């Protein structure tokens, strides 16, 4: 999968920096600093840019947990952001939560008196 390929590439690049600068040039402090920088930039790029794009467009891997006490109803994409609908039976509300890149600018819509799990009775 693309996610595993991405992380393998980031780790391989960090190891090559450590080997090239540390072992070949014998500059271990610089090698460690550069290796950590490669990992940090790779993590930030993935978290803030690539994660949802990989999942949506190329079959990447992403995990979202349903909050305790809620039931999952649906999920949909709007551009590169994932919207998830959950139902909370304790408060009789539906929650639409947006998972945006880097968890920045997340939207949330709450619908009160929403019970999608009960069918309407005939004549109601």
At residue 11, the pLDDT reads 95
Written as tens digits, the pLDDT of the chain (124 aa) is 788 899 999 999 999 998 888 877 788 888 999 999 999 999 999 888 887 788 888 877 778 889 899 999 999 988 878 899 999 988 889 999 888 766 666 788 888 988 776 655 454 4
Sign of CA dihedral 35, 40, 45, 51: positive
Q: Are 30 and 18 in contact (CB under 8 A)?
A: no
The total of other beta-carbon atoms located within 10 Å of residue 51's CB is 21
Q: Are 60 and 3 in contact (CB under 8 A)?
A: yes
The residue whose two tokens read 């995990």 is 63
Half-sphere exposure of 117 (CA within 13 A, CB side): 13
Cα gap 101→33, rounded to integer Å: 27
Strand partners, 111: 94
At residue 34, the pLDDT reads 92
pTM over 0.85: no
């Amino acid at each position: 999968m693309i996610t595993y390929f991405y992380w393998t590439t980031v780790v391989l690049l960090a190891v090559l920096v450590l080997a090239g600068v540390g072992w070949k040039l014998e500059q271990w402090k610089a090698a460690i600093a550069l290796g950590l920088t490669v990992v940090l930039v790779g993590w930030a790029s993935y978290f803030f840019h690539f994660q949802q794009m990989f999942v949506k467009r190329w079959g990447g891997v992403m995990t979202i947990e349903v909050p305790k006490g809620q039931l999952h109803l649906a999920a949909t994409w709007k551009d590169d952001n994932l919207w998830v609908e959950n139902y909370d039976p304790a408060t009789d509300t539906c929650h639409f939560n947006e998972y945006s890149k880097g968890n920045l600018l997340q939207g949330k819509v709450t619908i009160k008196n929403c019970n999608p799990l009960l069918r309407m009775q005939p004549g109601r």
